[in-house]
Structure 1
């Protein structure tokens, strides 16, 4: 078997007239949904793609006549594979150099139109989900984002429906205590982003301080490959000085471009014509409370084309 089917099919996934067979057609119909499930559980597009490959390999061995609900079945297999991978990734992230941030995705405008989906894949929310246990994360994502019934989730995480209800309650409380206060509109985020971009490009320190919340936090992810702040920078004055100093060092070589990243407006820093950094924001009450700067080259490959996310 080659790779996960997308626009082309290998011999096993094709019929004599080059149309997809039933298994391939069903998988493709739900592929974007399955990717979204895996990505929300893992925070990594590359690992989500690997999970989809594992799901596909299991799917083509299934007797379709015995599957009552193909969507539920595929979500269950994807969840199980994502749980296995998530537990492995947790161990790796313990030795990660500096702060670990989710892999940013260039998303289509329709993601922003689905407010709940946009919030669930935002950098801020993905970092909150990182604080859950793997099972709590799976239950929260499947229940709160994809609205699956408890008995469906139970089959995906190998727990009883009663246990799933308890896990869901615990996960909701945990997330509620850490998530951004209230849902922020795309327009509000864009206004804050525009002010932030002007301040950075002009080097206006005071304007930068004015758009940052007093308790703003800056996180950088270079993965030990690119230079980035190794620990969180806290406070508007400190963050503003770090940003203006950094921009000063690359003046004349850098270009800031607005983009739609993980459902919200963000900035892409291009250095000498190449994507160097993706800067996502967390906005509350019109001020920036979180800045997430991803520089690790391994995490920037999905910034060249839009990723389709679905619920």
Structure 2
């Protein structure tokens, strides 16, 4: 790789690599020591193409969610199975990973600007600015920049555009899916809101079980499914549909508990390991 090679946004790849490595080394203990990040779906990451992949996820902090995904993606690509042990996977990180973030957030200080260089596709929010509700048009340059990032590699986006749970999915994500036809991979995270502050920079609580479930890519009929259909599909995929909030019957509760048990990090084998650790 030439020393001064740049990505489509003009960022020097050698600088991006250094930033990812340094920030990765600093943040690694937040998911391995202070708290425990449990992962499911590393094998799915290894099966993905190198470009035009859109990850959709629920959102809990500004930066800790994305940092964890950078760890998990790179560890998975280096053969780690559902773990981020041995931070050596950052020696040659994947450099064409991007994440969609609000421009005002990424301009709010030195650290956010550093994170932005690591892979931010900054967009201007159409519904919120400087803490006030606004109503403005989508900037076409923002949409084209997301398309540019998809052409180059993988893009992480948080379709709700907020860290508040169960907020509506922004229709812009569905428009991007219909326009660029990426492979859409859902991710469901939990525990980050309890372990970090809202920005995801400060550790708020230790010994929290953080989880990241990477799901199989969505089946989408890009030409025939409507924006509303895709929005609903996203809501279910990242487990933010209003039905997840409803009061459950005993039968539904039992089904949900069975579903949760099926996730490896909650399952009987893991509980047995935890029990053995206590002796």
- TM-score of the two chains, using structure 2 as the length reference: 0.28
- Based on CA coordinates, which of the two structures has the bigger radius of gyration? 1
Name the structure, 1 or 2, with higher relative contact order (CA <8 Å, separation 6+): 2
Higher helix fraction (1 or 2) = 1
Q: TM-score under structure 1 normalisation?
A: 0.26
